[in-house]
Amino acid sequence: QLLFHRQYHEYLVLTPIYPLYFCTLFRQCSWLIKTFFIIICSILQLYMLEYIWLTTNTYFSSINSLHHYTTSTLIIFHNSLLIILSYIHEWLEKIDFVWFKQIDNERLIIIRQRNQFIKQTSFLLPLRVINYYLNTNSNLSLTQHYHYKYDQMGLLYIRFNLLNNKDEYSLINFINNIEYLLKNNDKYNNIVMHKKSTIREIIFSMDVSSSLKSIQELVELLFQIDEHIKLLQINFTACLHIGCINEILIHFEKYPKIDIWSEHISFIQLLMSKIQQNHCLVTSSVYHLLNDLYLFRIAGSVINTPMNIENNTSIYFLLGRLIGDNIFQGRNALPLTINQPNNDTIPKSSSLDDSQCSQYQYKHNSHNDKNPS
């Protein structure tokens, strides 16, 4: 009976303490607001304790003065600890905030310095080469040999045709402007320009292994080149292809240089020898990705090549966008005659030129070809 009286008394007194813990753990309030709330609750709790002791002391003789004032002292001590705890908790949160903010600032500084270094290095090396050194091994240096094989590389081969030698200086300035555009425009930062031994031939390469649709960036760059080259009255031919190439870093005495080679490049050169000026030839690897975005016309087909590349596939003329004027010729051009003709037909896609009435397929053999057009 006496034990029950004590437990009943403690239950009435100590139960209101537990909501105070939620107050101390509530992070959206400062410790001053929490302290004010705890003090108000402490006064109400002590008043409740005094009221219970006065009303129950008549009935429960087991609750004596020592028990009562000991409980009051513990309540005051407990609530004081809650105030101290709320202050320490907020103080530690501020320390964590400042510490994490400092870490974030240091991380941002490191990232900013890294990006600045990459931007400076990108004037000498392509981004894909820089990423190779960054992702391969932290101890790898530029003095070591770089040789990488890309299975899906978009290639844009352009050959300029000068009407007179005086236009060569204008062409050099134009190519330098293109190189500056590629290095300073984020839209084309993944495209690399490779200069051939002659200034009249350049190759643009772009790794499209992550997204084959990114080959569209090469097409838009080609349109932009065509728009500016018309002002210089310089003709050119182009060819778009996706294939496998090898890339190597060559160390010269003053600066490094990136060089590429592959049978696919020889294949592009062979195709470009068959087309006239102001035409753009596209292989089937590019056509199947862009046939819903641009206008094409069948130029012929490749049955067999010495390189065993793109065999038994069609080749196409790129005319321009589906909506708009034709940028390149090819609508009324005669079909390419590549050695022996074949009477088989080639299926027509939705993006082919509707003005083409007949379809052609031709055999490609560079050993016996003597009359290209």
In the chain, which ranges are continuous DSSP H helix? 2-14, 19-25, 31-56, 65-121, 127-136, 167-184, 215-229, 263-272, 284-290
352 and 322 housed in the same domain = yes
Residue 233 resides in a domain: yes
Pair 227, 282 in one domain: no
| 244 and 351 together in one domain | no
Q: Per the structure, how many domains does the chain have?
A: 3
If asked whether residues 290 and 364 sit together in one domain, one would say: yes
Q: Can you give the pLDDT at residue 78?
A: 80
Q: How far apart are CA 42 and CA 50, in angstroms?
A: 12
The domain of 285 spans 274-373
Q: Is 353 helix (H, G, I), strand (E, B) or coil?
A: coil
Residue 138 domain-assigned (yes or no): no
CA torsion 68→74→77→78, rounded to 10°? -130
From CA 9, how far away is CA 251, in angstroms rounded? 89
Model pLDDT, residue 361: 36
Residue 249 and residue 182 share a domain? yes
CATH number of the domain where residue 160 is located: 3.30.70.1230
Question: What per-residue confidence (pLDDT) applies to 339?
Answer: 43
List phi, psi (to 5°) of 87: -65, -45
Q: Could you say which of 239, 263, 287 is where a domain stops?
A: 263
Can you give the pLDDT of all 373 residues of the chain as single tens digits?
Answer: 444 455 666 665 666 666 666 666 666 677 788 788 788 878 877 887 777 777 766 555 666 777 777 778 877 888 888 888 888 888 888 888 888 888 888 888 988 888 888 888 777 788 888 888 777 765 655 555 778 888 889 999 999 988 777 778 888 899 999 988 888 888 888 899 988 777 889 999 999 887 777 888 999 999 989 888 888 878 889 999 998 998 887 766 667 778 888 888 988 888 888 888 888 899 988 998 888 888 888 888 887 777 777 777 888 989 888 876 677 776 555 555 444 333 333 333 333 444 443 333 333 333 334 333 3
Could you tell me if 21 and 59 lie in one domain?
yes
Considering the domain architecture, whether residues 219 and 280 belong to the same structural domain is answered as: no
- Asked whether residue 131 is assigned to any structural domain, the reply reads no
> What's this model's pTM, rounded to 2 decimal places?
0.63
Q: Does residue 252 sit in the same domain as residue 301? A: no
- Whether 12 and 92 map to the same domain: the answer is yes
Share of the chain residues as helix, strand and coil, in percent rounded to the nearest 5: 45, 20, 35
